[in-house]
Every structure is written in C-alpha cells, then in structure tokens.
Amino acid sequence: MLTLRRAQDRGHENHGWLDTHHTFSFADYYDQRHMGFGPLRVINDDTVAPGAGFPPHAHRDMEILSYVLEGALQHKDSMGNGSVIRPGDLQRMSAGTGVTHSEFNASKDAKVHFLQIWLLPRQRGLQAGYEQKHFSDDERRGKLRLIASPDGAEGSVRVAQDAWLYATLVGGGGVVRHVLAQGRKGWLHVARGTAEVNGRTLSAGDGLAIEGEESLSMGSIDEGELLLFDLGV
C-alpha cells in the first residue's frame, strides 16, 4: 500500500528568517494523524535567510540528520564539532545523553535550503556523537546510494536505529529499483524536482508511506532528488 502525503498538506510556518514545512507534527504544528512513521519522527524542510539561523539549543535521545539542498549550513556543538554542510553532505548528530548545538546560514547573501531529519534511537541514554560525509552527484545519479545505516555499510554514516537511508538523483526517463524485505516498510521523500514512483506522480516536498509493497520503481522524466528510508517496524 502506498499512501501519499502531498507537500501542500504539510505543516507550514514562515517566521521571516525561517520558512519551514513539517511532514510530521513539530513545534506549533500538531496533527495526531501525522506523528511520524515508525522510527522516523521528523522531516523538516527548512529555508533560512542569509546570516540567520538557530541559536544554541539542546537535544537528547534523538538521531538528527542534516541534508543540504542549496547553500551552506554552519554547525557548532557542545562536543567541540564545527563544520559547514554543503549539498551532497550528510551530517549525523546523535543527541544521546544530551548535546547543545547551533545552526546558521553560512552565507550573508544567499539562502540555505536543507532537510532536518529526526530518527528515534534504538534505546535511550546512548553516548552523544557526530559524523559527516560527502556523497557526490555521480554516486547518486541513476542509482540508490546508501548514505546512512546502522553499521556504516558502504561508507555511510551510522545511525543508532534499524533505518537505512538512500539518496538518488533520477531523470531522463531512467528507473531506479529497490526491494523491501518482508515485514519492512519505507518512506520516500521528494527533496527536489519530480518523480514517478510505482505509477504515481510526485512533486517536490511530497512524501510516500510504503507498507506491504515488495518493490519500488523510481524515476523522473525531468529530474528529481529523492530520499528513501527502509525501516524496521
């Protein structure tokens, strides 16, 4: 079964410096029908104005992934990490027993557009941690590139959850396929562009809950950037 979550049906807030869309309930947006999907708790689609950002704030017991689509995101945290996240990068911050961090647009004249993704960890009270890796366009174009996994397989970042995250760039009528093992489910998010998934047409910001499907066929006549979560139940 495929259940479509259209981009325009997400929660939306525009604070001037921050224009954000929430796939699942977050902050002032609450919808009991959309509290998450399995261990996937948050997909926030954030656009931050030049020079603006999130001042230091605390998290705990959450696996937090940041995936930049446009621009550059400056990260600093209480573990001593400091970095700039750019398109093609995936950052993982395990909040664990507690961490404070800040995120700011690294540019004074261009916006930054990124996805912040939260996964519930397999257990509470894990050690806080940090990791960041780059995945080139060539690694993702026309194929599913594993970018996050429980064991760091294929050079992916590690997450403390039974969750396998793939990224792909599709276009030109090409097709990418993925088989879901029995008993697993998935969530597909269209980060940019358009997609055709098992005969359904999707646009940027759309999400697709996947349950009871043996396989997925993903492509785009134009061009699309997709994230696919393969999740335990």
Q: What is the 3-state secondary structure (H, E, C) of the chain?
A: CEEEECHHHCEEEECCCEEEEECCCECCECCCCCCCECCEEEEEEEEECCCCEEEEEEECCCEEEEEEEECCEEEEECCCCEEEECCCEEEEEECCCCEEEEEEECCCCCCEEEEEEEECCCCCCCCCEEEEEECCHHHHECCCEEEEECCCHHHCEECCCCEEEEEEEEECCCEEEEECCCCCEEEEEEEEEEEEECCEEEECCCEEEECCCCEEEEECCCEEEEEEEEECC
Residue 97 confidence (pLDDT): 93
Taking alpha carbons only, the member of 161, 144, 121, 122 closest to residue 228 is 144
Range of the domain at 187: 2-231
Whether 1 has a pLDDT exceeding 90, the answer reads no
pLDDT at residue 48, as a whole number: 97
- Burial class from Cβ neighbours inside 10 Å (0-12, 13-18, 19+) for residue 213 reads middle
Task: Give residue 111's Cα distance to chain centre.
Answer: 19
pLDDT of 151 reads 95
With bands split at pLDDT 50, 70 and 90, how would you rate the model's confidence at 225?
very high
Specify the pLDDT at position 78: 87
128-174 residue pLDDT tens: 999 999 999 999 999 999 999 999 999 999 999 999 999 999 988 88
Question: Is the per-residue pLDDT at 21 higher than 80?
Answer: yes
Q: At 202, which CATH number?
A: 2.60.120.10
Query: In DSSP terms, which residues pair with 21 in a beta bridge?
Result: 12, 45
What share of the chain in percent tops pLDDT 90?
A: 83
Residue whose tokens read 């309930």: 25
Q: Confirm if 56 and 103 have CB atoms less than 8 A apart.
A: no
Asked whether 69 and 191 are in contact (CB, 8 A), the reply is yes
Number of domains in the chain: 1
pLDDT tens column, 174-195? 899 999 998 899 999 999 999 9
Residue keyed to tokens 């996805």 = 115
Per-residue pLDDT, 173:
80
Task: Please say whether the beta carbons of 71 and 110 come within 8 A.
Answer: yes
Query: Cα(56)–Cα(50) distance, rounded to whole angstroms?
Result: 18
User: Does the pLDDT of residue 233 top 80, yes or no?
Assistant: no
Question: What pLDDT digit, counting tens, does each position of 32-75 carry?
Answer: 999 999 999 999 999 999 999 889 889 999 999 999 999 999 89
pLDDT of residue 80: 84
**Mean pLDDT for all residues in the chain:** 94
Largest Cα–Cα separation, the chain: 48
User: What pLDDT score does 174 carry?
Assistant: 86
